[in-house]
Amino acid sequence: MITDCLGLLLVVAVTAANVGDREAAVPLLQRVRASHRSLRLIWADGGYTGMLTDWTRKKLHLVLEIVKRSDEPRFVVLPRRWVVERSLSWPMRSRRLVRDYETLPATSESMISWSMTMLMCRRLVDRRTHTTTTSTSLPA
């Protein structure tokens, strides 16, 4: 799943468990590049290091910046990492996504898209504009 800085879904891909993250990232990055031409920078965790960063720069003309974990023995907030973790946790509010009930990857992708669409719609709607106000007029 690739989101923007606000956590809004750009693209999603679900693969079989035997497909590694780096392997699955190639078609996902190609899809995000095709649909979002203005995108220039992608933050990723340490699982995407290696040749993928060079491939992304050369083939897609994108910067894949790796946010590495700290070697500190205590908890340290990593820059930009919280965006990824937050974006992954939001769909889990949807009951259907808490467990892996789907058998087809395409169905799982649809459920994630549906959940993120609901989240985006809630953000777009200003709840204050939907409050009903009653006004009474006094006779003249």
Question: Looking at the whole model, is its pTM more than 0.85?
Answer: no
H, E, C per residue of the chain: CEECCCCCEEECCCCCCCCCHHHHHHHHHHHHHHHCCCCCEEEEEHHHCCHHHHHHHHHHCCEEEEECCCCCCCCCCCCCHHHHHHHHHHHHHCHHHHCCCCCCHHHHHHHHHHHHHHHHHHHHCCHHHHCCCCCCCCCC
Query: What would the pLDDT profile of 17-56 be if each residue is shown by its tens digit?
Result: 888 888 889 999 999 999 999 999 988 887 888 889 999 9
Model confidence pLDDT, tens digit, residues 73-104 = 777 777 777 776 777 777 777 766 666 777 77
Domain borders along the chain are 2-69+78-108
